Amino acid sequence: QGGNNAGHTVVVDGKEYDFHLFPSGIINPKAISFIGKRILEFLYQLAQLKSYFSLCLLTGLKDWEKRLIISDRAHIVFDFHQAVDGLQEVQRQAQEGKNIGTTKKGIGPTYSSKAARTGLRICDLLSDFDEFSSRFKNLAQQYKSMFPTLEIDIEGQLKKLKGYAEKIRPMVRDGVYFMYEALHGSPKKILVEGANAALLDIDFGTYPFVTSSNCTVGGVCTGLGVPPQHVGDVYGVVKAYTTRVGIGAFPTEQINEIGDLLQSRGHEWGVTTGRKRRCGWLDLVILKYAHMINGFTALALTKLDILDVLDEIKIGVAYKLGGKRIPYFP
């Protein structure tokens, strides 16, 4: 998963679960759930694990701590990453008159820290805390110099982090070795759940209106340390119509009563942001493009019933550029 900026709504036995950080498999008592080397929004969510799972919504979910494993290579999203995410959006709006429409969960700034090699990981937190504290202070200071209005309670944050470290220590494993054993030990069924959609991929999405991670099948290899030859079936999940949260290109969008109908009947609200999703007809060009990159072996078509009340259904089948059809996604 790229981080808790994506939300998955899962309905099982009439109960609805909204997942942002945890793999959906956490509700299966027979499954081991593993959070790989993707970014972990950590400061509050992991501190509240016990209370989160004691909510009446999730009653009956027992022994989840024994079934949740966190990779030691997962990067940590700090409070100041989230604050900077919001400040950057304000900056873009002021300078360019538009923003990217991020979820303001700190994902982009954390990936920036990761790429700049100043990021901090779970393994750093759980080893030498003095060294971790020193690097944390340096990172915080870097952001304060870039954003003078940014306020960071450094000592308060470090005190919380030290407490959280002990709470999650039993769940942390060497993620690469864990996956290697899963792949080469006794036969297991391994299902990898990705966050976001192909068109939000940092490399292949509608840049710059994308997330900061690889949402395509390549993320399985880079996110978990799984060799390519172990990737078997690839399931593409697609609605019978197209939706998007936030701004960015959307050729089949219906800003009319059709779009309103799809939005209301399909309950199209962002799980993480609560924002209305933009809705339009199914775009086969982007679906084919997603297939080019991911090589789907099967498609899971969802929400077909939302279209039941329509007499006529339209589908986007081709793009034109300069009056001519083009066989690719530009």
145 and 252 housed in the same domain? no
240 and 157 housed in the same domain? no
Residues β-bridged to residue 239:
302
Our count of domains for the chain comes to 2
* Among candidate residues 190, 222, 257, the one where a domain is terminated: 190
Within a domain: 202: no
Top-ranked range on mean pLDDT: pick from 158-162, 218-222, 277-281: 277-281
pLDDT computed for residue 56 by the predictor: 36
* Among candidate residues 133, 163, 190, the one where a domain is terminated: 190
pLDDT tens sequence across 282-328:
999 999 999 999 999 999 999 999 999 999 999 999 999 999 999 99
47 and 114 housed in the same domain? yes
Tell me if residue 159 is catalytic. no
* Among candidate residues 190, 212, 247, the one where a domain is terminated: 190
117 and 243 housed in the same domain? no
Within a domain: 267: yes
183 and 237 housed in the same domain? no
175 and 258 housed in the same domain? no
Within a domain: 212: no
Q: Give a three-class secondary structure readout of the chain.
A: CCCCCCCEEEEECCEEEEECCCCHHHHCCCCCEEECCCCEECCCCCCCHHHHHCCHHHCCCCCHHHHEEEECCCEEECHHHHHHHHHHHHHHHHHHCCCCCCCCCCHHHHHHHHHCCCCCEHHHHHCCHHHHHHHHHHHHHHHHHHCCCCCCCHHHHHHHHHHHHHHHHHHEECHHHHHHHHHHCCCCCCCCCCCCCHHHCCCCCCCCCCCCCCCCCHHHHHHHCCCHHHCCCCEEEEECEEEECCCCCCCCECCCHHHHHHHHHCCCECCCCCCECEEEEEEHHHHHHHHHHHCCCEEEEECHHHHCCCCCCCEECCEEECCEEECCCC
Choose between 69 and 52: higher pLDDT.
Answer: 69
pLDDT greater than 60 at residue 41: no
User: For the residues 65-69, what does the mean pLDDT come to?
Assistant: 86
pLDDT computed for residue 217 by the predictor: 93
pLDDT computed for residue 131 by the predictor: 97
pLDDT computed for residue 52 by the predictor: 44
CATH number for the domain that contains residue 92: 1.10.300.10
User: For the residues 153-164, what does the mean pLDDT come to?
Assistant: 92
Residue 124's domain comprises 1-190
Q: Which of 114, 160, 276, 303 is catalytic?
A: 114
pLDDT computed for residue 109 by the predictor: 87
pLDDT tens sequence across 218-252:
989 988 889 999 999 999 999 999 999 888 899 99
CATH number for the domain that contains residue 296: 3.90.170.10
pLDDT interval class at 53 (50, 70, 90): very low
